[in-house]
Structure 1
Amino acid sequence: MTPDSLEMKSSNSDSPPPEWIAIQPLDGQSEDVCHAPVDTSLRPPSFQSSRFDIVLRRQHLRPKEGGGLKQTAVPSRFLNLSNTFEFAGWGTLTRLDLATDDIHKGDGDIQEARRERSLGQFTAAALAGNAILGSVFYALPAVVVVSNVYSPISLFSATLIMFLWRPIMEELASALPFGGAPYSYLLNVSSKWLALLGAAVMLLDFASTAVVSAATSATYLAGEVNLPFPVYVVALLILAVFALVCLSGLRESARLALGLLGLHMVTMLVVFIASTVAWARSGNDLLKANWTQGRSVSSSQGVALQIFNGFCIGVLGLTGFECIPSYVSHFKPGIFPLVLRNLHYPAIVFNVLSILFLLSLVPFETLLAGNNVLSILAQVAAGRWLRIWIVVDAVVVLCGGVLTGVLGACELAERLARDRLLPQVFLKKLTTGAPAVSIGCFLLFNIVLYASSGFSLAIISKMFSLVWLFLMALFPLSVLLLKFNRGRLPRNRRVPVSVVFLTFGVVFTAIGGNIAIDPTTVGYAAAYVIAIVVVFYGTMKKVHLIRLMFWLYDQSPLLHRTSVTKKWGDKMCDAVRRMRRQPVCLLINTDEINRLFHKALYVKQNEETSCLKLVHFYEEEHGIPSEMEANWKILDEAFPEITVDLVLVRGEFTPARVAALSHRLRIPTTLMFMSCPGPQFPYAATDFGARIISL
């Protein structure tokens, strides 16, 4: 109908407009016209009576009792399968009252989680302290090679950069005290894909920590005694022994790590005292000679370039700090800043004083030639007895670094298993609480990593420095995303954005410097990271991969002719149905359709499931949002491949009741998603154990 015809029709007195159209009376026209009797049958239905009729177009086919397959005009992409394989059933509405047993179990889970936060500031510091303070044994020789006599300046400036990272790590840990960080940070503030990349870098960093620590320990031992077998065999034995030690559990491992760290700190204190006495006796003659010789050796390079190269390599003296947030979920509340402080200051002192004493007491040629430089310093300062002592300490504390890598990897594996990126077998634990499968797989990965490098400590160390820097770059990235995507999330500290960008500048400068020193490090690091990402992709998208395999099978008629090959298709279909059967929960407090849609879209893009449950807690009937049921039905229709259920749970929204619901529905809290709580929310978001997926 044209606009002209509409105008003619509206002006025709014989064809008055429908009575339900709101028309203001014209000037001079009696208002009685507007109050003429109206045929109410011509009025449109009210929203109260039509809210489902308007939006639920095809849902007259929905069975009243729920269930049934969603119908669609889209044909199946599989030649020999019906739409039952592609699409899910209609969702159902359930009103749920939690049983007393479920509530008791939920309370028990909350109490158990609190009991796990048992590590004090010293035991917590010891878990990563051996890796951090033991790094002096392999950082010093590497820095001297590139920075020569300017090594003290390089090491001092490198250790100072932790003053940028400490407040960033404190803000992240206070907002999201989850284990497996920074993977868990990225999972709660961004997409699962970015978190997956972070997990790959983390795993490679933990493996590098363990391998470099074990190989350096074996090198120190081989420098003092004649071994009947190659150095790499000793390194592999150290990896195996400390993997077995980790089977005793986290608490016992922390106590052992504390003992090892105490021995190391006493040893370094004795070495520093002996070196001070020896320096006072010998004077500055050797220091002046080393200064002159070092400058002549490096005269072709600029001073600034040597200091910069030493700074880029000197960050190895801070390796281990990235491991601390990995098990922050086991820390007592409020001690995380103390742990960082207790490890940062000794790291500065150990690195700077060690290199100063070396330049003052050890000839420059010896520094450039040997790896066991601290044992040489000990012998010069006090004699053979101190050299033997520091070699024993080096072997012991570096073995503690292996412990740090194993424990960090176990925490990461547990988080990945709870998020269904690894098989559930990784969650099984011994009576000691140790995850045997995680430990065994990590040991195997360490062996593969070490063997693939040709058992070369130099190659692993080069890759280690670059991987560590990339991992440290994830912390400012995580806090930036936290500020932007989860700005309402309560936290104890807020870092200025300027500090975040300054940290980015420092870390990318160090990355560029390491690449410029040795471009081959990029190849090694990229190869390992890509390999790990491919494996994680296979575990994350396993349903998609099986569906692709079935599509290829379905396109091959020859494979459908024998009973054996037909079983292949049946097994693939059963595997897809079984994997998609695991439901996930959306904890909702609103009926806004746009917010519900984006949450459901997140589940569709990040989780392989055909069952989604919208869960709303209410205390009174009027507490249920008025349009929640209507919009749930819209959502159920919008995602034909997912069954969307609405579960209304009577009771207050508390961590204990969410844990009780987890028992009732048999859905782990890590597969429950929620919005970001605000500052007035009475509970911490992490108390629920749920993933935060929206602002």
Structure 2
Amino acid sequence: MGRSESDPLLEFMYPGHGSSSILDIGQGENGIVGSSSNGNNSFNSLTYQNISENSPLIRNNNSANSLVDHNYNSPLSSTSSSCGKSEILVGTTNEKMDLTGTEEAKVKKIGGSGEHKIGQLFATAICGNDITSSIFYTASSCTLSAGKYAPISLSIVCLVLYLFRKIYGEVGSALPLNGGAYNVLLNTTSKQFASVAAALTMISYVATAVVSGSSAMGYLHSLWEGLDVFWATIILLGFFALLNLMGITESAVVAFIIFVIHMVTLCILVFGGFGLYFYKHDWTILINNYQDVNPDIPIGPDQLPCDRQFYWGQDFAYCIYFGFGSAMLGVTGFETSSNFIEQQKKGVFPKTLRNMWAIVTFFNPLIGVLALCYLPTCSIANANSDVLAQLADRIFGKWFHYWIIIDAVLVLSGSVLTSYVGFVGLVRRMALDRCLPQFLINVNPLRKTCHWIIILFFLICSSLFAIVKGQTSTLEGVYAVSFLGVMGLFAIGNMLLKYKRSSLRREIKSPWIGVLLGLVAVFLGLIANIIRNTSIMFYFGIYFSITIFVIMVMFTRARLLKVVLFFSQIVIWWSPQLKARVARSIGDSIKKINSQPIVFFAAKDDTAYLNKAILYIRDNEQTNWVKIIHCYDDQGESIDNFSQNVEFLDGCYPKIRIDFIKVFADFTPSTVEKISIILGVPKNFMFIACPKEHTGSMVIPLSLGDFGGVRCITH
């Protein structure tokens, strides 16, 4: 087969021949005897009952080291290797695994870390704090762009959000796993392209946490002038890091309290404001605003007069368009729920989308109108994030002005909490997929939380805030581009899901026209923000490049080590012993990276079909070991062609070991769970082609999410 390599330093590149074996997890007295490609018919017996989560055969994380010490006699160890004197890989050669008479295995999702599931109210509160906190600056920024037409722009955004409610809902129904846009693109495109969405989402969360935390402490500074905003922001970020270390349930309780206070505040503002307005019958300010009267009002040192505002003198379409671009930033946080979907109870995810849409649709346009009733357009545009406080002062007086400030501190702080929750869910999923370092998925045994991710997020946000010296204006532009980019990629992912994964079952379906309109709307909003301030692309490019660089290093670390190996053999010319020692060390590191086995559940023996799966794995996963598994429930079914085709492909790819395992059982979530436990392969490294309603014995019962993380990789 051409697997041997004369240079022992390069033996790590050739993992050896594949094997053929049989696994019986059906009912019956006897296991099915299988054969190995090396002709050895002696079998080791292994029962499902003997395997526990503490077994040395089970890998509890994805950094599975498949290198076996020569003194370790594993029942799954390969009996031969073409790698000379190198350590052999744990394989599936020559074993008989008897799982007869076992109960169905409980399916565990890959992203679950043992935390309690949260319900509709708590999940809505976590997301709602983020999306409703934006009203503190959206009313002003939208008026700055649209002037008196701001309520119209805000209403158009609500229509766009309704489209995305369906778009997000369909994806979450078909693929109920953490990761958001990353998750849907991972199951419809390549891992590299999915990582672009992940990078945008991470940038969005970091920018949100820093900007919201700084804004919250800025509001608090207006009440307590002795407060140091810089250190107060760092302390706030640290407080929510500690809260997240305690667990998502405890975090959700705090988020819910903040959310309730904020909803009560907005209701008092809206209902009380309109009630007093219609009671007093003073229409002067509203009429002047719509007649473009330039009021004689004092202008601050950093403020512009009315006739120099962006909207002044522009036509209806111009104002509506750029107002729409600004108003799109008023729905940031809508994507958060999809990044911790596995921590939500069943059926909660679409309800959180509905609740967020309803809240935004009710409050944002009404507050835009209310502001025009009480404040001149120019004053609203100059108010920045202080517009609601000024509005409260005009309606109820100073006491409500202070109330709004306190509410702003709370809800903007809640937005920081939302960023933590979304970031943790996304990074954990990426670490499970080996897109990020594996230590990030370590779980605190006491609170079942991913402490390294939480600490990392705190350090990133704190250091970034220190780098910009507390001036977050540059981050606001980065925040705008990354958020709109994530929404656009989510719409693209939904279209790919419809085209490539149309047979996946889902409870919610978004019409094609709705997805296309949503994508166009987001693109137009992104263009509007870039035209308004072209410099945001420069800053966005810096942050995006750094983030994507870290991810790409993880993708190419095995290749980078090969480059290091090549140059080390040139540089270390004076000492053959040192050269060999360095080569062995680097080779072992590469072998460890590539030794994570990948499972592909094959429904048919077509060579082109199998080859397509292997090509995807080769191009997207860092591995040199593929296990092709075929589940069948008919003992009379001939699978000779399967073995021959797999053996043929095994010879075509000398740098990939391809095993073939026959499983006498239906393809069900329980079967997949048992195989995952026995082989020690996490389910996010178990792939299938997109199944039809009935593909042989492979039947999808409800959705791909029922399998707990198995991925679709081919069309």
Q: Classify the TM-score, shorter chain.
A: 0.7 to 0.9
**Is the Cα–Cα contact under 8 Å of residues 9 and 587 in structure 2 kept in the other structure?**
no
The Cα of 1:634 is off from its aligned counterpart by: 0.4
Q: Give the distance between the partners of 2:342 and 2:171, measured in 1 at CA.
A: 12
Which residue of structure 2 lines up, in the alignment, with residue 667 of structure 1? 681
Q: Give the distance between the partners of 1:433 and 1:259, measured in 2 at CA.
A: 23
- For the residue of structure 1 that corresponds to 2:636, the secondary structure is helix
Q: Give the distance between the partners of 2:663 and 2:506, measured in 1 at CA.
A: 29
**Is the Cα–Cα contact under 8 Å of residues 293 and 364 in structure 1 kept in the other structure?**
no
Structure 2 unpaired stretches of 5+: 26-46, 52-98, 295-305
Which residue of structure 2 lines up, in the alignment, with residue 126 of structure 1? 125
Q: After the TM superposition, which residues 102-117 of structure 1 pair with which residues of structure 2 at under 5 Å, given as runs?
A: 102=51, 107-110=105-108
Question: Is 1:480–2:495 an aligned residue pair?
Answer: yes
- For the residue of structure 1 that corresponds to 2:187, the secondary structure is helix
Distance 1:105 1:554, change over 3 A: farther
**Is the Cα–Cα contact under 8 Å of residues 243 and 250 in structure 2 kept in the other structure?**
no
Question: Is 1:626–2:640 an aligned residue pair?
Answer: yes
Amino acid at match of 1:327: F
Which residue of structure 1 lines up, in the alignment, with residue 171 of structure 2? 172
Which residue of structure 2 lines up, in the alignment, with residue 392 of structure 1? 406
Q: Give the distance between the partners of 2:539 and 2:402, measured in 1 at CA.
A: 35
Amino acid at match of 1:319: T
Amino acid at match of 1:265: M
Which residue of structure 2 lines up, in the alignment, with residue 283 of structure 1? 282
Which residue of structure 1 lines up, in the alignment, with residue 555 of structure 2? 540
Question: Is 1:510–2:443 an aligned residue pair?
Answer: no
Which residue of structure 2 lines up, in the alignment, with residue 433 of structure 1? 448
Amino acid at match of 1:96: L
Q: After the TM superposition, which residues 378-417 of structure 1 pair with which residues of structure 2 at under 5 Å, given as runs?
A: 378-417=392-431
Structure 1 unpaired stretches of 5+: 1-57, 59-68
The Cα of 1:329 is off from its aligned counterpart by: 2.3
Which residue of structure 2 lines up, in the alignment, with residue 182 of structure 1? 181
- Most deviating of 354-363 and 386-395: 354-363
Question: Equivalent pairs: percent with the same residue?
Answer: 28
Distance 1:293 1:432, change over 3 A: farther
Q: Deviations over 1:423-470 (max 9, x none)?
A: 222111222221100101111222233334443222212221121111
Q: Give the distance between the partners of 1:92 and 1:174, measured in 2 at CA.
A: 38
The Cα of 1:212 is off from its aligned counterpart by: 2.0
The Cα of 1:152 is off from its aligned counterpart by: 1.7
Which residue of structure 1 lines up, in the alignment, with residue 653 of structure 2? 639
Q: Give the distance between the partners of 1:305 and 1:450, measured in 2 at CA.
A: 35
- Most deviating of 187-196 and 493-502: 493-502
Which residue of structure 1 lines up, in the alignment, with residue 713 of structure 2? 693
Distance 1:232 1:87, change over 3 A: same
Which residue of structure 1 lines up, in the alignment, with residue 91 of structure 2? none
**Is the Cα–Cα contact under 8 Å of residues 115 and 247 in structure 2 kept in the other structure?**
no
Match of residue 361, structure 1, among 364, 374, 399:
374
Which residue of structure 1 lines up, in the alignment, with residue 605 of structure 2? 591
The Cα of 1:360 is off from its aligned counterpart by: 1.8
**Is the Cα–Cα contact under 8 Å of residues 597 and 627 in structure 2 kept in the other structure?**
yes
**Is the Cα–Cα contact under 8 Å of residues 478 and 537 in structure 2 kept in the other structure?**
yes
**Is the Cα–Cα contact under 8 Å of residues 207 and 446 in structure 1 kept in the other structure?**
yes
The Cα of 1:544 is off from its aligned counterpart by: 0.9
Aligned residues: 620
Which residue of structure 2 lines up, in the alignment, with residue 54 of structure 1? none
Q: Deviations over 1:205-264 (max 9, x none)?
A: 1112212221221221123320342x2332222211111111121222222212211111
- Most deviating of 365-374 and 119-128: 365-374
Q: Give the distance between the partners of 1:338 and 1:191, measured in 2 at CA.
A: 30
**Is the Cα–Cα contact under 8 Å of residues 543 and 576 in structure 1 kept in the other structure?**
yes
- For the residue of structure 2 that corresponds to 1:153, the secondary structure is helix
Match of residue 498, structure 1, among 510, 513, 516:
513
**Is the Cα–Cα contact under 8 Å of residues 223 and 372 in structure 1 kept in the other structure?**
no
**Is the Cα–Cα contact under 8 Å of residues 495 and 515 in structure 2 kept in the other structure?**
yes
- Most deviating of 480-489 and 276-285: 276-285
**Is the Cα–Cα contact under 8 Å of residues 598 and 626 in structure 2 kept in the other structure?**
yes
Match of residue 23, structure 2, among 85, 89, 96:
96
Q: Give the distance between the partners of 1:143 and 1:321, measured in 2 at CA.
A: 19
Structure with more of its chain in helix, by fraction: 1
Q: After the TM superposition, which residues 24-43 of structure 1 pair with which residues of structure 2 at under 5 Å, given as runs?
A: none
Q: Give the distance between the partners of 1:82 and 1:385, measured in 2 at CA.
A: 76
Match of residue 345, structure 1, among 358, 365, 382:
358
CA RMSD after TM alignment: 2.4
- For the residue of structure 2 that corresponds to 1:107, the secondary structure is coil
The Cα of 1:692 is off from its aligned counterpart by: 0.7
Q: After the TM superposition, which residues 440-455 of structure 1 pair with which residues of structure 2 at under 5 Å, given as runs?
A: 440-455=455-470
Q: Deviations over 1:403-437 (max 9, x none)?
A: 11111111111111111112222111222221100
Amino acid at match of 2:182: Y
- For the residue of structure 2 that corresponds to 1:525, the secondary structure is helix
Q: Give the distance between the partners of 2:686 and 2:256, measured in 1 at CA.
A: 36
Amino acid at match of 2:448: G
- Most deviating of 565-574 and 403-412: 565-574
**Is the Cα–Cα contact under 8 Å of residues 676 and 685 in structure 1 kept in the other structure?**
no
Q: Give the distance between the partners of 2:413 and 2:635, measured in 1 at CA.
A: 60
Q: Give the distance between the partners of 2:345 and 2:637, measured in 1 at CA.
A: 37
Amino acid at match of 2:626: L
The Cα of 1:598 is off from its aligned counterpart by: 0.8
Q: Give the distance between the partners of 1:624 and 1:480, measured in 2 at CA.
A: 38
Distance 1:656 1:330, change over 3 A: same
- For the residue of structure 2 that corresponds to 1:360, the secondary structure is helix
Amino acid at match of 2:212: S
Distance 1:106 1:449, change over 3 A: farther
Q: Give the distance between the partners of 1:636 and 1:518, measured in 2 at CA.
A: 55
Q: Give the distance between the partners of 1:511 and 1:141, measured in 2 at CA.
A: 19
Q: Deviations over 1:257-295 (max 9, x none)?
A: 122111110111112233224323261122233443467
Q: Deviations over 1:465-502 (max 9, x none)?
A: 12111110011100111122112212223333232222
**Which is greater in Rg?**
1
Which residue of structure 2 lines up, in the alignment, with residue 527 of structure 1? 542
